[in-house]
Structure 1
Amino acid sequence: MEEFAQLLDRLVLTPARNGKITLLVDYFRVTPDPDRGLALAAITGDLDIANVKPAMLRALVNERIDEQLFAYSYDYVGDLAETISLVWSADEAVRANAAPSLGDVVASLARASRSDALRLVERWLDQLDASARYALIKLATGGLRIGVSARLAKQALAQFGNVDVVEIEELWHGLKPPYEALFAWLENTAEKPQSLAAAPFRPVMLSTPLEEPDYTRINAEDYAAEWKWDGIRVQLTAEGGQRRIYSRTGDDISHAFPDIADAMDFEGTLDGELLVGRSAVDGIEIGAFGDLQQRLNRKAVSVRQLETHPAFVRVYDILFDGPDDVRALPFAERRERLETFVKKLDPTRFDLSPLVPFAGFEDLVELRRNPPHPIIEGLMLKQRSSSYVPGRPKGPWFKWKRDPFIIDAVLVYAQRGHGKRSSYYSDYTFAVWTGPETEPHLVPVGKAYFGFTDEELKRLDAYVRNNTTERFGPVRSVRAEPEHGLVLEVAFEGLNRSKRHKSGVAMRFPRISRLRWDKPPIEADRLETLEALLRDTEAVD
């Protein structure tokens, strides 16, 4: 566990992507099986330990220290694993025993009942130091939050074995922890494993943002234009009787969308945008992203959710046409195949992303400024001669998103962050004014935790501490009055109506774009501004 704990510590404290990859490669090189594979599974979210729950750990720690003292400590630290690891009062007689390895921990928890698992954790907490205790709790409860995505971990594997990350991704869904066959291949001591996954994931092709130097290269002869829809990117693969729906990162999300999986009566692999809506006379009527969120991140979906939030896929590319791999074909030829392919599919679950005609770049400027639907984020521009290449090549595909909306809002609540931010108030809730102008009051409209520098975070944290009016566990209420408060310039992609928020609106992808230390709070925006923007987008619909 000590080596795994050291890895987590270093990953949290290493902000650079390449630095994280180097740490992972070094760990894979010096750590034996099965520990390195189990660490990999924990990082990628593929290690499931079901018999240790946070509530059990809270009860356990209260057996060792005063309950109120722990509550105060948890309030200050803001992270359960970090709090327990710091305040745990170890049994010195047990501590003299040798600490367990990562493999010992995982194997023992897999065999244990829930009550036995808790006592195992108790014994290990006595044996480990604070850093390893933190790693143990994070391992057992999930959610490492160390700034390493599954994709980055796979890139580290590719660098470790000097292979293309595409090879790793195409094998991944046929492998299981602790990945001993995978590591043997990467170390050249065994043959490459054969993918045992039916309907495997194929790494997706990504676009790059369109920037001003590239404007001159975009013309109707060389590029096709499509709308960029505000859903989630999915890959649909049906082969040999297996049907799978993958996210763009290769996560299997089929269980959350059985209505789509049931309608995948084809052989091949399609690329598209997952949306929600309902069948209409002239096609499928699209719902807002907030409607799609009702279906995301669920282990199971209810019959009512299937009825009220039916899903469909707007298809825009084809990778396999039956058994034929067509990724090497030019986009224009793949598009012709796709048009024929989609005609055979259920029109209530699949439709074709339309091409957007344009004569010159000026047409695109106007289309981007005034799209015909509020669920459109901007434009996709695809080189007609481009093959389907995994990764993010520069030039074949561009995305040209609409300019974000911007409002001024007032900071009203702050919450402690996680990981290396756990000592800072870094999650901010902001509000706008409503009510009579003579007696205005603030109503929260969103929350953001990025968009500022490390130096700005320190200033924000100090401001929160010096202007706290109330405490609610890890949350602080911040002084916010017409003449005293902090104005945040907030950028966001769009708005949805929301019954969950008192304001009645929910922001899409809010982030802090500027700190307005110079602006008095009373000059921040009013709720009517957001309501007018929401009406305008609905009118477009």
Structure 2
Amino acid sequence: MRAFAELLDRLSLTPSRNAKLTLVRDYLRETPDPHRGWALAALTGDLTFDAAKPTFIRKAIEARMDPQLFWWSYDYVGDLAEAVSLCWPRRPGANREPDLAEVVEGLRDASRAEVQGLIEGWLDALPDPRERWALLKLMTRELRVGLTARLAKRAAAEMGGVDPAEIEELWHALHPPYEDLFAWLEGRSEKPSSENPGRFRPVMLAQAIDEAVDFARLDPADYAAEWKWDGIRVQAVHEGGVRRLYTRTGDDISRTFPDILGALEREGVLDGELLVVRDGRVASFADLQQRLNRKAVDAKLLAAYPAGIRAYDLLQEGEEDLRPLPFAERRQRLEAFVAREASPRIDLSPMQPFDTWADLTQLRASPPAGDAQIAEGVMLKRWDSIYEAGRPKGPWFKWKRDPFLVDAVLMYAQRGHGKRSSFYSDYTFGVWCDDPLGKRVLTPVGKAYFGFTDEELKQIDKFVRDHTVERFGPVRAVRAEPHAGLVFEVAFEGLQRSSRHKSGVAMRFPRISRIRWDKPPGEADELATLERLLERMEAR
């Protein structure tokens, strides 16, 4: 566990993406099997422990120390694993530290009745709080070290000197602890086969465009334009009789969308956007959220929120890999493929003709009525671009519409996690409205935990500590009055109605755009402003 704990500790304290990549690559190179394979599975989110739940950690610590004393400690630290690792009162007797493979295999095989005993024994055997923290983070599958699964796979690719896309395409044919993968990366065996039906293909991503720079050097005649739809990017696979639906990161969501799988009649691989579509029109992202992250769906949900794919690209047709073909040819093949499918659940993302960048600018700013009003912006794709994994420079660009902005007042704050566990970094903000008695009050409309610098975080944290007026467990209510409080300029992508929020509205992707130290809270926006904006969105 020591090497794994050291890796997690250094990752959590390292802000640089390249430095994190180097740390993981070196760990995989220096650590023997099967430990490095289990570590890679943990970093990519591919470890599951059916019987291990966070409640066993709470029961274990409450059996060892005064529960109230622990919860005061937890409230101060802000993270369950870190609080337990620091507070744990070890009992003498354990003289052998468990290794990573022993912990993983123990948790995978344990029954619910055995988990708490295993946790207590391992915590007693681990002398360093960092090792205890790593053990508990591993068990809860909440590493929170600022590392994506894609970056972890890239580290494995760098270790073996191979293209990261090769790892991505192999991934769904591999199983932890990946000994066949490491044998290939170290030149000890042949490359594992990726020819498993229904496999995931690494996706091609777009760069954000800088219109002030890129338009001057690019020829509009070289590019096709289409809307950037407000759903989630998916890959629909029908291959060798196997049907799968993947997210852009390769997560298999097939079980949640049986209606999509049933629509895949012809063998091929579609790249597109998953949306809720009613009577041929795209519904809001809020409707799609009703279908996401569910373990099971019933007939009522399928009927109320019918899912569909708006197809962008065709990666494979039958047994033919189309990715080496230029986009113009793949688009022609896609149009014919979708026409032959003739499914109400699969349609085309239409091309948007334009001659000049000025034309495209106007189109992006004022899309025509209909589905395009729901789009997030536009996509640009070179007609001659092949489909290559990753985010290559030049072939594809995304140009999102400008976000909406609102001035809101900070109402509540909570400590963050990981390296932010000592700071109040999660903020709930609100806008003004009238209560039933006609009194002007704040009502919460959103939460955000990014969009500010480390220096600004320290300043906001001090404001929260200096202006706390009430405590609700780990949450702090701060002073928020017309003449005393802190105003945030909040950027967001859209609004939706929400019965779960007291205000009746919820923001899409809210983040702090800037801190308005200069603005009195009384001058922040009104709920009526958001309601009028939502009405305009719904009328489109």
TM-score by length of 2: 0.97
Deviation of 1:219 after TM superposition, in Å, equals: 4.9
Aligned counterparts of 2:273 and 2:379: Cα–Cα separation in 1: 12
Aligned counterparts of 2:342 and 2:132: Cα–Cα separation in 1: 52
CA offsets 1:75-110 (integer angstroms, 9 cap, x no match) = 11121111111111000222xx11010011122223
Aligned counterparts of 1:197 and 1:486: Cα–Cα separation in 2: 56
Aligned counterparts of 1:510 and 1:326: Cα–Cα separation in 2: 38
Deviation of 1:55 after TM superposition, in Å, equals: 1.4
Deviation of 1:214 after TM superposition, in Å, equals: 1.3
1:350 corresponds, among 322, 346, 352, to: 346
Q: Which amino acid aligns with 1:80?
A: L
SS at match of 2:340: coil
CA offsets 1:101-154 (integer angstroms, 9 cap, x no match) = 001112222332222221111111001121111111111121211111110001
Per the alignment, residue 355 of structure 2 pairs with: 359
Q: Which amino acid aligns with 2:12?
A: V
Per the alignment, residue 468 of structure 1 pairs with: 468
Cα contact 2:433–2:442 (8 A) shared by 1: yes
Matches within 5 A, 1:175-254: 175-195=174-194, 197-211=196-210, 212-217=212-217, 219-254=219-254
Matches within 5 A, 1:243-392: 243-278=243-278, 280=279, 284-372=280-368, 373-392=372-391
Q: Which amino acid aligns with 2:138?
A: L
Deviation of 1:484 after TM superposition, in Å, equals: 0.3
Cα contact 1:374–1:538 (8 A) shared by 2: no
TM-score by length of 1: 0.96
Deviation of 1:218 after TM superposition, in Å, equals: 5.0
Deviation of 1:196 after TM superposition, in Å, equals: 5.3
1:106 corresponds, among 101, 104, 107, to: 104
Cα contact 1:218–1:361 (8 A) shared by 2: no
Deviation of 1:39 after TM superposition, in Å, equals: 0.6
Higher mean alpha-carbon deviation, 103-112 vs 235-244, is at 103-112
SS at match of 1:536: helix
Q: Which amino acid aligns with 1:314?
A: R
Q: Which amino acid aligns with 1:351?
A: D
Q: Which amino acid aligns with 1:142?
A: R
Cα contact 1:481–1:521 (8 A) shared by 2: yes
SS at match of 1:522: helix
Cα contact 2:235–2:248 (8 A) shared by 1: yes
The reply on whether 1:119 has 2:117 as its aligned counterpart is: yes
SS at match of 2:315: strand
Aligned counterparts of 1:414 and 1:109: Cα–Cα separation in 2: 35
CA offsets 1:515-537 (integer angstroms, 9 cap, x no match) = 11111000111111111111111
SS at match of 2:373: coil
Aligned counterparts of 2:472 and 2:419: Cα–Cα separation in 1: 22
Deviation of 1:216 after TM superposition, in Å, equals: 3.4
Aligned counterparts of 1:538 and 1:362: Cα–Cα separation in 2: 28
SS at match of 1:470: strand
The reply on whether 1:498 has 2:498 as its aligned counterpart is: yes
Higher mean alpha-carbon deviation, 5-14 vs 137-146, is at 137-146
SS at match of 2:37: helix
Per the alignment, residue 148 of structure 1 pairs with: 147
Sort the Cα spacing of 1:11 and 1:79 in 2 relative to 1 into closer, same or farther, 3 A: same
- What are structure 1's unaligned runs of at least 5 residues? none
Aligned counterparts of 1:166 and 1:111: Cα–Cα separation in 2: 33
Aligned counterparts of 1:298 and 1:6: Cα–Cα separation in 2: 35
Q: Which amino acid aligns with 2:263?
A: A
SS at match of 1:59: helix
Aligned counterparts of 1:484 and 1:62: Cα–Cα separation in 2: 41
Deviation of 1:217 after TM superposition, in Å, equals: 4.7
Aligned counterparts of 1:107 and 1:389: Cα–Cα separation in 2: 37
Aligned counterparts of 1:46 and 1:296: Cα–Cα separation in 2: 19
SS at match of 1:447: strand
Q: Which amino acid aligns with 1:241?
A: G
Deviation of 1:438 after TM superposition, in Å, equals: 7.8
What is the number of residues matched between the two proteins? 534
CA offsets 1:470-526 (integer angstroms, 9 cap, x no match) = 111211111100000000011111111111111111111111010111110001111
Aligned counterparts of 2:150 and 2:392: Cα–Cα separation in 1: 17
SS at match of 2:343: coil
The reply on whether 1:511 has 2:511 as its aligned counterpart is: yes
Per the alignment, residue 41 of structure 2 pairs with: 41
Cα contact 2:221–2:355 (8 A) shared by 1: no
Per the alignment, residue 134 of structure 1 pairs with: 133
SS at match of 2:347: strand
Q: Once the two structures are aligned, what percentage of the paired residues are identical?
A: 62
SS at match of 2:431: strand
Deviation of 1:309 after TM superposition, in Å, equals: 1.0
